[in-house]
Amino acid sequence: MARRTWSETRGLVTGASSGLGQALAARLVRAGATVLLTGRSTERLAAVVGGLKSEGADPARMITVAVDLTIEEDRRWLFTLARERFGALDLVINNAGVGATGQFDTHDASVLRHVFEINVFAMAEVCRESLPLLSGGRDPVMVTMGSINARRALPGRSEYSASKFAVTGFTEALRIEWRRFGIHVLQVDPGFTDTPFDENVVVDTARVAVNDRRTMSPETVARATMRAIERRQRQITLTWQGKLFVLTSTVAPRLVDWGLTRWLLKHFPDAPVLRKNRGNQNRT
């Protein structure tokens, strides 16, 4: 298989103002690609590009555009700009997303809607808008950002897990559908990664501190993603703990349910429903 020529790659990275998207965009730029970086915050995008320039990156290889991907006009503007500047795209990293923690019954309907707006609907529309540009690209690739929660849901993350399962379902279908256009589709499923993800959640009523578990660097995810693109892999799961968790969930789902119930009790000691259940047990 011919090795990908990164210096000829015209890429778009969503969520490039922070975390995984920032690391992916930086790695692409360092490899010589020309990258359109997008996020909501103009300041954060400027800081990412400023950091790369100070490392010696060619400013001509980086374009930033601040858009809210949940807004149709913003998406249209983003792809108009991509067409004007690049003509076509060889790679799209469809990474922007948010989380939400807490038990579903304690949240109002806006949480599920907010999470789906960006993680699912915007992600899918970015695919739709990308198609004409990727169709004209060289060895084109679409990368969707899943999660370990795209393979096994976690309690206290119902909205997020549902959105990431939707990413899996959507990506699996698209992978086959887009064969007729010659577009390779890869889903990346990282485990806990050291990014500001927790600071940006829509709602956090879980009081679950997983910061100490965020042992994987975003650079590790970026390196593995680029390798997976070169190898034309269909899906990757990152961290051996994540792989083990997914495997155990497949072969012994009841055992994992049991473990997650204990985990939930530990992390939601004052959750209303659990309290009531314990109280009922005491009375009998």
257's CB contacts (< 8 A; 6+ apart) are: none
Question: Minimal distance in Å, beta carbon 199 to ligand NAP?
Answer: 7
Residue among 31, 21, 39 nearest 55 (CA) = 31
Residue 22 one-letter amino acid: Q
> What's the DSSP call for residue 38?
E
Closest CB to ligand NAP among residues 9, 193? 193
**Interface segment toward ligand NAP; rule CB under 6 A; list 63-71, 124-132, 151-159, 266-274:** 63-71
Task: Tell me whether residue 206 or residue 271 sits nearer to ligand NAP (CB atom).
Answer: 206
- Which of 6, 79, 86, 160 is the catalytic position? 160
Smallest distance from ligand NAP to CB 260, Å: 18
100 in Cβ contact with 149 (< 8 Å): no
First and final C-alpha spacing in the chain: 67
Distance CA 139, CA 92 (A): 12
If one asks whether residue 166 binds ligand NAP (CB under 6 A), the answer comes out as: no
Nearest distance in Å: CB 3, ligand NAP: 27
Strands of the sheet containing 141-145, edge to edge, are: 62-66, 34-39, 10-14, 91-94, 141-145, 184-189, 235-237
Q: Does 98 bind ligand NAP (CB under 6 A)?
A: yes
Cβ neighbours, 10 Å, residue 96: 27
- Choice from 4, 10, 11, 15 touching ligand NAP (CB under 6 A): 15
Any catalytic annotation for residue 160?
A: yes
Q: Which of 5, 7, 8, 41 binds ligand NAP (CB under 6 A)?
A: 41
Task: Rule CB under 6 A: say whether 130 interacts with ligand NAP.
Answer: no
Q: What is the DSSP string of 166-219?
A: HHHHHHHHHHHHGGGGT-EEEEEE--SBSSGGGGG-S-B-S----GGG--B-HH
Q: Is residue 118 a contact residue for ligand NAP (CB under 6 A)?
A: yes
Shortest Å distance, C-beta 280 to ligand NAP: 36
Token digits for 233? Answer: 């892999």
Contact of 223 with 27, CB cutoff 8 Å? yes
Judged by CB under 6 A, the residue of 11, 39, 102, 140 near ligand NAP is 39
Binding mask 182-221 for ligand NAP (x = CB under 6 A): --------x-xx-xxx--x---------------------
Burial category of 279 from C-beta neighbours within 10 Å (exposed 0-12, middle 13-18, buried 19 and up): exposed
Q: Contact between 49 and ligand NAP (CB under 6 A)?
A: no
Q: According to the binding rule CB under 6 A, does residue 20 interact with ligand NAP?
A: yes
Q: Catalogue the active-site residues.
A: 160
Q: Which residues bind ligand NAP (CB under 6 A)?
A: 15, 17-21, 39-41, 44, 68-70, 95-98, 118, 145, 147, 190, 192-193, 195-197, 200
